[in-house]
Amino acid sequence: MTDFTGNGQSYPYTRLRRLRSSNWSRQLHAENALTVNDLIWAIILKDGKNAEESVEHMPGVLRLSPDRAVAAAEKARSRGINALALFPYTSTQERSADAATALSADNLMCRTAQAIKQAVPEIGLICDVALDPYTDHGHDGLLENGEILNDETVDVLCQQAVLQARAGFDIVAPSDMMDGRVGAIRRTLETEGLTHTQIMSYAVKYASCFYGPYRGAIGSQDVLKGDKKTYQMNPLNTDEGLREVALDLQEGADSVMVKPGLPYLDMVTRVKEAFKVPTFAFQVSGEYAMISAAAENGALDRNRTIIESLQCFKRAGADGIITYFALEAAELLQKQ
């Protein structure tokens, strides 16, 4: 039997509370740490000038115009945040069946990346590679006769990734869950001489209702038809997630992600233990909404819940966390 006492002794010789009895001792014996280096700030963009707009169900999250996003990047950097993940709100008029706006070199994402890189070149920029902000049906891929086309979508994603990398994104993060997209994107980046661009694969991405507020935030909610179950994973599965990670690593991913976050921490641990590669988790919009709603109605202490929830990702084995709380968390960590 496993010896849980560690020294063969049991109570009263072993008293685990001894180590917890004071702050210095608790800190000395902490097995994990959360620092600002672990945080990636998720930011929603919307076209305009000097404008910001609140997001339904996500109090504290704002859609930022490109100039405001530059200011946010400067603030993030001054708080020690290393990277931002940008997501675009796209109006119905800019959406189409072929997702043409995704391939327009001066779309909102590309313009904002250029502006941020000019003002704050030392901050890392991450973008989704997926078509959902640009399709008129809100799906991540091209849709034909009710089916999401895999290989045709991958071709578009490759072009999108090149465009984004050229605009200044350091990490392209395929979040579409098409088969074979990581390999195709990697080959295309190599061919185009974009050998420094990292691929952070949303490898273990579930068909989750926790994305609800995000879809509202980027303008997909009202146009989305059906669900994403034919490409995103079944929340009941775990072994399948390991196969996804294995394939994405073989195809050339530099790091992998599990998404959503807190309800899926078992997958963070499994992936980290099995592959020992850089493993990230996304504390998604629904998680943000849950914590902020509970804080707003007085059920939870907002600051302490933010920090504890992020610490849990570290305990599970995540190397970093994409979160809408990043700036707030960075400020809280500074005060600790």
According to CB under 6 A, which one of 140, 170, 244, 251 is a site residue for ligand PBG? 140
First to last CA, the chain: 40
Q: Which span (19-27, 72-80, 124-132, 145-153) binds ligand PBG, by CB under 6 A? A: 124-132
214 interacts with ligand PBG by CB under 6 A: yes
**Using CA atoms, how far apart are residues 115 and 204, in angstroms rounded to an integer?**
31
* Between 110 and 131, CB nearer to ligand PBG: 131
What type of residue sits at position 63? R
Clarify whether 205 is annotated catalytic. Answer: yes
Task: Name the residue whose CB lies closest to ligand PBG.
Answer: 214
Q: For the window 172-191, what string marks contact with ligand PBG as x by the rule CB under 6 A?
A: ---xx---------------
132 interacts with ligand PBG by CB under 6 A: yes
**Using CA atoms, how far apart are residues 55 and 214, in angstroms rounded to an integer?**
9
Clarify whether 335 is annotated catalytic. Answer: no
Query: Binding to ligand PBG (CB under 6 A): which residues in 301-330?
Result: none
**Contacts with ligand PBG: how many residues (CB under 6 A)?**
12
* Between 73 and 102, CB nearer to ligand PBG: 102
Instruction: Name the E strands within the chain.
Output: 39-45, 52-54, 62-64, 83-88, 124-129, 142-144, 147-149, 171-174, 198-205, 255-259, 279-283, 320-323
- Residue at token pair 């490898």: 203
40 interacts with ligand PBG by CB under 6 A: no
The helices-and-strands tally (H runs, E runs) of the chain is 11, 12
Q: Give the 3-state DSSP-derived string for 157-214, with helices as H, strands as E and coil as C.
A: HHHHHHHHHHHCCCEEEECCCCCCHHHHHHHHHHHCCCCCCEEEEEEEEECCHHHHHH
Dihedral angle at the C-alpha atoms of 183, 184, 185, 187, nearest 10 degrees? 80
* Nearest distance in Å: CB 216, ligand PBG: 10
* Between 119 and 237, CB nearer to ligand PBG: 237
* Between 229 and 315, CB nearer to ligand PBG: 229
Catalytic residue among 205, 228, 272, 314: 205
Catalytic residue among 46, 228, 259, 272: 259
The interaxial angle of helices 150-167 and 181-191, nearest 10 deg, is 40
* Active site (catalytic) residues: 205, 259
Q: By the criterion CB under 6 A, which residues form the site for ligand PBG?
A: 128, 130, 132, 140, 175-176, 211, 214-215, 228, 284-285
